[in-house]
Structure 1
């Protein structure tokens, strides 16, 4: 019997933008999280005495600003060398030869597959054969799996491939192939990379995405890590167990405010969600949460116009989480408990003006807004521009919300001063 670790998509030193906008987040610790995840991977390999490690591409996040990124990776590989653990890796789209302007000599326990042609390597002292091919160019659109070598009889065969398979939302279609293409090779385990969601797609043969080693933003929620695979004496997978290795975990929370009439009740409901996160353990990782408040409530018109309550929620998060949970962002998806009566007089004129604005494509495109938009960070400017697109549903929805909120405020139904 033998053990190996399968990880992918380390994205070492991936730049994390926009963190400074969120008060209280440990930005520097988050920036170093990808390195800490690799340290934990090496710790796990040594502690569990694995026979080898598989890395299925995107070790880096593109060419480095300096050599520090490559030197750090080489240093961690040297730690594995001290314990006699070989590493088999391929280059993915982010660290393909065409995008890497620098390279560092790696220890001799690291075996990198060529991008020119698929190849095979037999693991010394272990009845296993590893097959793989690196990306030469970032936009690799050929079916690489079709050209992989035949299985080696009498060994546990592992195919290492960076691929989107037949397509995953949010991931570029690189090295596309089907599950049937993979099964046709007769391998026992396909160690895939590129898709950042942890998933076992098939168990005969095993087709596995470990996901990325460390979540980098709110789009990459949940536990992140690697798979620890044990192979029995019959050269079959005995267990394929996920091992969480990330330093931080991103989570989305949704808090319903239906029937909620004051901030004290909002705090109680939010605290209950936070305590559920604490009780779940979250694999003993630090957690960054984004909360969305939903539902029909009398707080509908009051919350957007105030900021103190947001700071109160951040303080509550720190308290309940004992410094282990941070609140990244608050989103509102609220509705009034009852729409105000059809307005008359000046109120009717206001409502009509807002409806005309919703139909006027020139209002949101006024030149005066452009200098202000250009001063915003890229990710903020893109989001604001989407809201101000007069042809989009977001713009019409925003004006409808403004109309309802103003009418509630002006008629004294908004729950605030």
Structure 2
């Protein structure tokens, strides 16, 4: 079994409005429950070994409870006779974790100083890998990995961004051909939070993705990979869905809808469909309303729209995390002074065309919460193009509100 990026006790973002409710507690414990699901899957599928390719922890423990939980899960596998191999990633690099607990005898934490090999002759398995001594490992570690051990299944482990993937911070960068060049039957990768095959064919390398989506950008099913492999033969992987709560984006185009009630009904139906697909998991939904139509005039009251959609999500069995209203009335319905709308559009265009000015306006917010927004995957306040897009969206929302109030 190959898993990575458990990020134990990393809270799901965007749930502050739930306060101390039972649902909030369930969601905030989702990373632990997903880890329990992983151990259950290892046992149920009678996996010969578990490989954890970095970022078991989200950072330094707030207290020993985080480490104690993980030791208990490893002990369950020890009782089943299942060996566990793990490496440190950027979030749980050796320099980042100040507390420690003894791990059960079945657990092998690979060296952070240089690539290490652990050979289990009784399983016919050789595992090669190196963890992170510090958070920012910027060099390619793969060229120093050991040669494969003949006659055994050889599995590599690495926490890496892989060159060419600019969606993730660049750590331990390498090329796909570096991985396949090791000649291992399988390379278990961590750091990228989507399941993805990097190398196919006789020397397969893959990201398992993370076990549990933690914020709105980590949408859809999450889990681990069950790997079937024999010496000298291509590995096959089977995705296993192990998440506890699921982030979903629900997009509804209001074109053709006559009023706000039709929009609310459409959102209810769409959210209910996502809940059926995700069952029995809790769905945390973001809703985006877009398009032009006569219903836009009834969607200008932000508080009412939010409340109606919260009730719609609740009736479908989901939690509403955010609403984006990008709707606008049809052009022929606009009754606002055309000079005023032209002035609004001109101001938005001027701002969108001046990235430096936008960054200047956003600078105080960047200093205060910029890093937290980026870590939550919500917004990069240093990205001029993204801020320009927001300016255009603000223009559309303002015009829609003006039209709705005028009518």
- For normalisation by structure 1, the TM-score amounts to 0.84
More displaced 10-residue stretch of structure 1: 118-127 or 217-226: 118-127
Kept after mapping to 1: 8 A contact 2:196/2:208: yes
Q: What's the secondary structure of 2:35's corresponding residue?
A: helix
Q: What's the secondary structure of 2:257's corresponding residue?
A: coil
Kept after mapping to 1: 8 A contact 2:275/2:282: no
Structure 1 residues 357 and 87: alpha-carbon distance in aligned structure 2, compared to 1, 3 A threshold: same
How far the C-alpha of 1:26 sits from its partner, in A, is 2.5
Structure 2 unaligned regions, length at least 5: none
Structure 1 unaligned regions, length at least 5: 413-417
Q: Distance in 1 between matches of 2:272 and 2:315?
A: 11
Match among 261, 274, 279 for residue 277 of structure 1: 274
* 1:415 match: none
Q: Distance in 2 between matches of 1:385 and 1:209?
A: 29
1:108 aligns with 2:105: yes
Q: Deviations over 1:33-69 (max 9, x none)?
A: 1111111111111122211110000010111111111
Kept after mapping to 2: 8 A contact 1:92/1:135: yes
Kept after mapping to 2: 8 A contact 1:340/1:408: no
How far the C-alpha of 1:15 sits from its partner, in A, is 3.5
Structure 1 residues 164 and 349: alpha-carbon distance in aligned structure 2, compared to 1, 3 A threshold: closer
How far the C-alpha of 1:12 sits from its partner, in A, is 0.5
How far the C-alpha of 1:341 sits from its partner, in A, is 6.1
Q: How many residues align?
A: 394
* 1:26 match: 23
Match among 323, 327, 333 for residue 320 of structure 2: 327
Kept after mapping to 2: 8 A contact 1:339/1:404: no
Kept after mapping to 2: 8 A contact 1:228/1:242: yes
How far the C-alpha of 1:342 sits from its partner, in A, is 8.1
1:123 aligns with 2:116: no
How far the C-alpha of 1:254 sits from its partner, in A, is 1.1
* 2:245 match: 248
More displaced 10-residue stretch of structure 1: 396-405 or 235-244: 396-405
Q: What's the secondary structure of 1:170's corresponding residue?
A: coil
1:64 aligns with 2:61: yes
* 2:300 match: 304
How far the C-alpha of 1:31 sits from its partner, in A, is 1.2
* 1:170-319 superposed matches below 5 A: 170-204=167-201, 205-232=203-230, 235-237=232-234, 239-280=236-277, 282=278, 284-319=280-315
Structure 1 residues 304 and 387: alpha-carbon distance in aligned structure 2, compared to 1, 3 A threshold: farther
- Coordinate RMSD, CA, aligned: 3.4
Structure 1 residues 111 and 400: alpha-carbon distance in aligned structure 2, compared to 1, 3 A threshold: closer
Q: Deviations over 1:310-361 (max 9, x none)?
A: 323222322233xxx2222221221221255686xxx366447646755589
* 1:81 match: 78
Kept after mapping to 2: 8 A contact 1:22/1:329: no
Q: Distance in 2 between matches of 1:227 and 1:256?
A: 36
Q: Distance in 2 between matches of 1:169 and 1:158?
A: 26
How far the C-alpha of 1:74 sits from its partner, in A, is 0.9
Q: Distance in 1 between matches of 2:91 and 2:369?
A: 29
How far the C-alpha of 1:81 sits from its partner, in A, is 0.6
Q: Distance in 2 between matches of 1:92 and 1:385?
A: 26
Structure 1 residues 189 and 246: alpha-carbon distance in aligned structure 2, compared to 1, 3 A threshold: same
Q: What's the secondary structure of 2:327's corresponding residue?
A: strand
- For normalisation by structure 2, the TM-score amounts to 0.86
How far the C-alpha of 1:151 sits from its partner, in A, is 0.5
Q: Distance in 2 between matches of 1:313 and 1:384?
A: 27
Q: Deviations over 1:235-282 (max 9, x none)?
A: 5346411111111111111112102111221133223313432443x2
More helix by share: 2
Kept after mapping to 2: 8 A contact 1:244/1:283: no
Structure 1 residues 192 and 271: alpha-carbon distance in aligned structure 2, compared to 1, 3 A threshold: same
* 2:6 match: 10
Q: What's the secondary structure of 2:286's corresponding residue?
A: strand
Q: Distance in 2 between matches of 1:365 and 1:237?
A: 50
Kept after mapping to 2: 8 A contact 1:143/1:177: yes
Q: Distance in 1 between matches of 2:289 and 2:163?
A: 36
Match among 52, 55, 64 for residue 55 of structure 1: 52
Q: What's the secondary structure of 2:264's corresponding residue?
A: helix
Q: Distance in 2 between matches of 1:18 and 1:320?
A: 20
Q: Distance in 1 between matches of 2:61 and 2:273?
A: 40
Q: Distance in 1 between matches of 2:8 and 2:141?
A: 25
Structure 1 residues 66 and 208: alpha-carbon distance in aligned structure 2, compared to 1, 3 A threshold: same
Q: What's the secondary structure of 1:120's corresponding residue?
A: strand
Q: What's the secondary structure of 2:61's corresponding residue?
A: coil
Q: Which has the higher Rg, Structure 1 or Structure 2?
A: 1
* 1:158-177 superposed matches below 5 A: 158-177=155-174
